[in-house]
Amino acid sequence: MADTSKVTSNLSNTTGGSRDTPSPPPFLTNEEVKRHLHWNTLVPATETLFANVSRHNELVIQPPRLIMPISQQNAALLCMPAYLAEDNVLACKVVTSFRNNAALGLPSILATVILFDGSNGGTKMIMEGTEITTWRTAAASVAATKNLFRRIKDKDLVLAIMGSGVQAHIHAQAFMSYFSIKEIRIWNHRFAGAEALCKRLGDIAKPFPDKEECVKPADLIVTATYSPTPVVHYDWLKSDAHINAVGFGVSHHSELDENTYRKASVFVDSLDGAKQELKSLHEAGIKFTEVGAVINGTERVPPNGGVTVFQSLGMGGEDAITAKLIFNDYMKHKNQGK
């Protein structure tokens, strides 16, 4: 039998151990992950990722997510691998969804992200994936908004958020860190949820029991719900409003009414993903444009105004670039002895 010990030693030695005594890859919990995430590095890295995806030249390899149903457990396992050639980043997010967990007092969705050495395949770091997913989703919305909303440099913007969960909260934090937000308006199907989020955000936030009242004055809108029916209608929107649709109900596009998709300019993170996950919209003749194409200058936002929509689907590349930034920050602090 071939001796694989030297190979194993070399592949494991990615975080500072000697060749003979390899260090096991570090494992970061969600709380530890948060300590190494920063909007000022994550958002620009996400913009670069969007641009590289739209070049369609193997700079980004991210096959469609693999979904394995587990009918016996009312569950599923999902895999989202990605390779980013520009930074030699190789990573894979593995997600488990067990719907019966709620009755056991356990999270229904759990995620783990594995970061590999892009040169030899060795494991560099293993991370709990919940915070990675949370942050990278909000960073994608910020990156899209920066490049799609025409009045992004305006002062005193109004942000409306539909939903009051984790994504609603992180989007509020991300948008306040990047844009001049004077008011955050929160709607949730349970008004108590909207009130609770407003309490966490402070005086800048106000809860609304009515969806239309919440949305009408908004310049920027985030939909972060599981609603199977629209929570935003086109007739409610300002003429140049920008929407980031990040929730998932019966589909990726159940939060907005059909009129919004037909009359707005719709942008996505990946056309390949859109053709698969927004199939019914694609077949109905809705045109999608990649945000990265706008960043690259090969497409542009319609100059004469109109509503814009960023339909966030999520990409393995977003998890990979986030994992790389976490690893870099972790190693920086480790080398500084912090």
With CA atoms as reference, report the closest residue to 315 among 127, 170, 144. 144
Q: Element (H or E) spanning 113, and its range? A: strand 109-117
Which residues neighbour 112 within 8 Å (Cβ) at sequence distance 6 or greater? Answer: 93, 94, 126, 127, 128, 129
With CA atoms as reference, report the closest residue to 50 among 167, 142, 171. 142
> In DSSP terms, which residues pair with 310 in a beta bridge?
244, 267
Percent of the chain with pLDDT over 70: 92
Pick the CATH number of 5-132+317-335 from 3.30.1780.10, 3.90.700.10, 3.40.50.1220, 3.40.50.80: 3.30.1780.10
pTM (2 d.p.)? 0.91
Cα gap 53→313, rounded to integer Å: 14
Residue 268 neighbours by CB distance under 10 Å? 25
Least confident of 16-20, 123-127, 327-331: 16-20
Write out pLDDT tens, residues 187-201.
999 999 999 999 999
Q: What is the DSSP letter of 229?
A: S
Which residues neighbour 200 within 8 Å (Cβ) at sequence distance 6 or greater? Answer: 169
Write down the CATH number for the domain with range 134-315: 3.40.50.720
Residue 99 neighbours by CB distance under 10 Å? 12
Contact 82, 319 (CB under 8 A): yes
Instruction: Give Dmax (Cα) for the chain.
Output: 71
What six digits make up the tokens of 321?
A: 């670039």
Least confident of 163-177, 229-243, 292-306: 292-306
Residue 17 neighbours by CB distance under 10 Å? 13
Domain regions of the chain by residue span: 5-132+317-335, 134-315
325 against 286, higher pLDDT: 325
Structural Rg of the chain based on CA atoms: 21
Q: With the C-alpha atoms ordered 46, 48, 50, 56, is the resulting torsion angle positive or negative?
A: negative
Q: Element (H or E) spanning 134, and its range? A: helix 130-148
Write out pLDDT tens, residues 87-109.
999 999 999 999 898 889 888 88
Collapsing DSSP to helix, strand or coil, 224 comes out as coil
Write out pLDDT tens, residues 289-314.
999 999 999 999 987 789 999 999 99
